């Protein structure tokens, strides 16, 4: 892992510790590579926190990989099925790696939230307070680091081809 990649991974973790959502933290750490300013990156990725709008669906850190894959090689023409397939292939590869390393891409599963609690409607839009206990029990910072590492590894693999 290059020093530059390690800095991006640390930036993603620092972003999360500053209060940004999982998706925001990772996307903002790589946005400059795609000509996207930090503010726009934060806005684009804001709704993916808490497993998409705090509904505990796909993990925000995993969602960041989807956004970054699109920025890296998303097709820009509607009639480009080959380009769309290449983007989908990259998304599937990145998410498969995330799942392999973290056992799931689903927020509620990563958090260990029981299905019945989720079904009972624990989808308030209010974020949990970020305090010492939050950081102690939540795997989110690890998921952010994992996602950033996966994308950094992907980028490094592209430069060695």
- For the segment 43-71, what is each residue's pLDDT rounded down to a tens digit? 999 999 999 999 999 999 999 999 999 99
**Residue 29 reports pLDDT greater than 80:** yes
CB contact at 8 A, 61 and 22: yes
Contacts of 52 (CB under 8 A, 6+ apart): 58, 60, 63, 107
Give the number of other Cβ atoms within 10 Å of residue 6's Cβ: 13
Q: What is the pLDDT of residues 71-122, one digit of tens each?
A: 999 999 999 999 999 999 999 999 999 999 999 999 999 999 865 455 555 6
Mean pLDDT over all residues of the chain?
93
Q: What pLDDT, on the 0 to 100 scale, is given for residue 97? A: 98
């Amino acid at each position: 892992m290059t020093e530059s990649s390690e800095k991006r991974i640390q930036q993603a973790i620092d972003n999360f510790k500053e209060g940004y959502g999982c998706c925001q933290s990772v996307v903002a750490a790589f946005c400059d590579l795609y000509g996207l300013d930090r503010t726009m990156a934060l806005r684009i990725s804001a709704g993916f926190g808490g497993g998409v709008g705090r509904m505990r669906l796909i993990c925000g850190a995993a969602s960041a990989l989807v956004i970054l894959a699109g920025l890296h090689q998303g097709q820009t023409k509607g009639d480009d099925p080959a380009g769309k397939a290449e983007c989908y292939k990259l998304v599937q590869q990145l998410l498969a790696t995330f799942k392999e390393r973290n056992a799931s891409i689903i927020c509620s599963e990563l958090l260990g939230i029981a299905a019945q609690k989720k079904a009972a409607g624990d989808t308030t839009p209010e974020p949990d307070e970020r305090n010492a206990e939050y950081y102690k029990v939540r795997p989110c910072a690890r998921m952010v680091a994992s996602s950033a590492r996966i994308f950094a590894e992907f980028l490094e693999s592209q430069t060695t081809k």
